[in-house]
Amino acid sequence: MDGDGFIASAYKFLTGRYPGEKAVRQLIETYGGHRIAAMNVVREPIRGIYNWLLNAVTGGRFQQAVASAGHDRLWHLGLVIRLDNGMAFTLEKNQKVTVSPSKAYGNESQYRPVRVPPGLTLARFLDNALRTMGRERFFVYEAFSTNCQDFILNLLHANRMLTPQLQAFIYQDVAGIAKELGGIWSHIFQAITDTAAVVTDGH
């Protein structure tokens, strides 16, 4: 990762696992044998404290870089998954991979249904992605590369569920934002998100 993700990688060296890996392992152990009954990609605007923090640490340059890269807003992506036992949860990648009970999203959130192959279990879905992506890319977050959209795109691609329509819905070119900000900010953001991932792991 060219030096990015150092804190997360050091945490993995010390503990034997990446931040977020425990939650995914527990999910597979508890519900892995259940079939996926329905799935939706959800996206919601990045705002609130996270957006404020990005602008604060860059002196307002983050929002300017977003606009210069041709975006009016940035989206956070997640997968809302419902299993054959009725359990529903959201799988997403913030500073780490997280699993949380399905929640009500705001009015600005948008959804796209995903066609699920018959008989696909949760364990097979996640295992396909882990084998395709590798553990580091699956678990380590980097704002301008292995981020939430990269995570969702690869989950779907690894299971042959990614369509051109879903690709267009999910993908935003964030490389232009990193270029506008300059390389030093990418490393600063990485240090912030890595630290948050390590501090909150297991919570």
- The tens-digit pLDDT sequence of the chain (203 residues) is 444 444 445 444 334 467 689 899 999 999 999 999 999 999 998 765 566 666 676 767 666 766 666 666 778 899 999 999 999 999 999 878 999 998 777 788 999 999 999 999 999 999 999 999 999 899 988 877 888 999 999 999 999 999 999 999 999 877 667 676 666 655 555 555 444 434 444 44
- pLDDT for the residue 183: 60
Q: Is residue 202 part of a domain?
A: no
Is 98 within the bounds of a domain? Answer: yes
Domain assignment present for residue 12? The answer is: no
201 in any annotated domain:
no
pLDDT of residue 13: 39
Nearest to 192 by CA among 82, 36, 54: 54
**Domain for residue 47, yes or no?**
yes
Q: What is the pLDDT of residue 145?
A: 83
Q: Is residue 135 part of a domain?
A: yes
d(CA 66, CA 54): 11
Does residue 73 lie within any of the structural domains? yes
Distance (Å, rounded) from C-alpha 96 to C-alpha 20?
5
CB atoms within 10 A of CB 58: 17
Residue 70 structural domain: 18-195
Report pLDDT for 38: 98
The predicted structure's pLDDT at residue 7 = 42
Beta bridge pairs of residue 43:
77, 110
Number of domains in the chain: 1
> What tokens were used for 14?
């010390």
- How far is C-alpha 72 from the geometric centre of its chain's CA atoms? 21
Which of 34, 24, 153 minimizes the C-alpha distance to 99?
24
Is the residue at 155 inside a domain?
yes
pTM score, whole prediction: 0.77
Element (DSSP H or E) covering residue 164: helix 164-170
